[in-house]
Structure 1
Amino acid sequence: MTEQVYACIDGSVSTRTVCDYAAWASQRLSTSLTLLHVLDKESYPVAADYSGNIGLGSQEQLLKQLAALDEERAKLAIQHGLHMLEAARERVKSDGVANAGCMQRHGDLVDCIVEQQGDMRVLVMGKQGAGETHPGRQVGTHLESVIRTLHRPILVSTGTFKAPERVLFAFDGSQTSRKGIERLVSSPLLTGLQIDILLVGADTVEHKEQVKWAANTLTAAGFNVPNTAIRAGEVDEVIQHYCQQEKMDLLVMGAYGHSRIRQFLVGSTTTSMITKSTIPLLILR
């Protein structure tokens, strides 16, 4: 089965941006796009089975009414989701993706996403889910769970869409970080874009050699790597400052191995990083 881009649609404020970045990724990768809407079992439970309570005399009619209400609520949730998917399909169509697929599932969001990863090339999700508050400041709990669970690249959209031109790769010199560089080389997703390389750490000979390897690998593959940097400090603060200072459009980071980046991404600082970021993040898995 051909790998494709999946986009999580939930009706939140980030849905439009998710659609735009998903369409961008689909076209860059020359692959199909599927819009996924999951009726989360906590927010939209299926109709309950009250048969075990039948026989409670005067309460029997009430239980039947409750069951009917649950069934109607489930039907409305399905219809609402289908309308959202159709609106999303129109959005990506206007972005240049003519034949996006639509998929609706019922259950745990993370489980549903993991079930699809066999033919998933990239997953696009918003920073914040439909049930979250304080737009732009919080990170959805589902997103954190997906980052920890999924073994596919995750593009976290934020703000309004801007086709990336300047990309920052947060590199730490580890073997897993090198694999991230090699994955970029083998993918057309960022071909032709400017890629800066930043290593957060001491300015040592070893770190200079590691950054040089990353730059040479990308350059040899035809990538434009105009800037490399080694800066000391806290990972999240240094990366955010660089992105703002150099006006980056996309941040690429790894989320595997046992490096500082790994500890940073899957630890408590994950929320801080994604919350503070004003540009999308491509998290490599």
Structure 2
Amino acid sequence: MKTILLCTDGSAFAENVYKYGAWFANQFHAPINVLFVTDIRSQKVASIGNLSGSIGLGASEQLLNELVNLEHEKAKLNNQRARLILQNAAEVLKAEGVADFNLINKTGFLVDCFQEFEANSDLIVLGKRGEAADFASGHLGANVDRIVRSSNKLCLITTREFKPIERILVAYDGSLTGKKILQFLVDSPGWQSIKIHLLTVGKNSSDQTAVERLSEAKQWLERGKFEPTCSLMEGEPEKVIANYVNQHNISLLLMGAYGHSRIRHLIIGSTTTQILRSSNISVLVFR
């Protein structure tokens, strides 16, 4: 892992974005870029439009001047806010033992600015929700949903509370993405000290396909010197995974990203979305 990108908005989720980013940076000896994007809409003020005919030319010019001054003041406040947010990020990262980081402030929209930095990043870290977290606690942040769906990089979606990573759960389905997760663990010595749980969801306990998948994954991890705790369970994947996380005090969930059925997305959403919305732990999403 060469570079980690932390996307922050200064919300209640931000501090733990920094802490999780720091954990991965320390584990993988990777530098961090912290990106804060000032929403360009927050610097715009209402236009006077064609008010001159209704309030008079003189009044219109006076209002225009006041609006221009207000826009300048908003720009100053936004710059100050950006400095404070990035300063807080720097303080948290230093406290977590990270020295190699870069602070970046852009003006625009996150989903647009993000593309500029994604190409040179191996891991993207985002808070589960943003500034409206207290008003939309049952939903994913709009930027998170867009970025996770479109990015081809590893995405870590963090929760509001930091939880030390001691036990991880791999939700394995036998897909190419699932195999990528296993190889990621085998190639990364930093996971050797962490307890790994391996879960496959089947039609029933004698589902031969699921049994073979679980055996395959177990052997793969054992070749990497891991001793995984393996489980085969039946039921709806999102419910099975959620129950397992709670029962075994899992710290981090590793799973594949969205599937390829656009109809399923439109009608009922994907398992990934449902788990990201409801999970009380952070989720590392693979493409």
1:222 matched to 2:220? The reply is: no
1:208 matched to 2:211? The reply is: yes
Correspondent of 1:267 among 266, 269, 282: 269
CA distance in 1, matches of 2:270, 2:213: 27
CA distance in 2, matches of 1:257, 1:175: 12
Percent of aligned positions with the same letter in both sequences?
A: 33
CA distance in 1, matches of 2:274, 2:215: 29
CA offset digits 1:116-149 (Å, max 9, x no partner): 1111111111111013334754321111111111
Contact 1:125 1:156 in 2 (8 A): yes
How big is the shift at 1:24? 0.3
CA distance in 2, matches of 1:121, 1:134: 31
- 1:30-45 correspondence runs (5 A): 30-42=29-41, 44-45=42-43
CA distance in 2, matches of 1:57, 1:219: 79
Which residue number in structure 2 is paired with residue 280 of structure 1? 282
Structure 2 residue ranges without an equivalent (≥5): none
Q: TM-score, normalised by structure 1?
A: 0.88
How big is the shift at 1:221? 1.4
Q: 1:211 to 1:270 in 2, by over 3 A?
A: closer
Contact 1:192 1:223 in 2 (8 A): no
How big is the shift at 1:62? 0.8
Q: 1:73 to 1:205 in 2, by over 3 A?
A: same
CA distance in 2, matches of 1:116, 1:100: 14
How big is the shift at 1:239? 0.3
How big is the shift at 1:52? 9.9
Which residue number in structure 2 is paired with residue 187 of structure 1? 188
CA distance in 1, matches of 2:192, 2:50: 60
How big is the shift at 1:48? 8.3
How big is the shift at 1:100? 2.0
Count residues with an aligned counterpart: 279
Which residue number in structure 2 is paired with residue 119 of structure 1? 120
Which residue number in structure 1 is paired with residue 236 of structure 2? 234
Q: Which amino acid aligns with 2:43?
A: P
Whichever of the two has the greater Rg, that structure is 2
- Of 18-27 and 274-283, more deviation after overlay is shown by 274-283
How big is the shift at 1:106? 1.1
Q: CA RMSD in A?
A: 2.7
Which residue number in structure 2 is paired with residue 5 of structure 1? 4
Contact 2:48 2:63 in 1 (8 A): no
Which residue number in structure 2 is paired with residue 94 of structure 1? 95
Contact 1:47 1:74 in 2 (8 A): no
1:21 matched to 2:20? The reply is: yes
Which residue number in structure 2 is paired with residue 144 of structure 1? 145
Q: TM-score, normalised by structure 2?
A: 0.87
Contact 2:181 2:254 in 1 (8 A): no
CA distance in 2, matches of 1:54, 1:187: 66
Structure 1 residue ranges without an equivalent (≥5): none
CA distance in 2, matches of 1:151, 1:10: 22
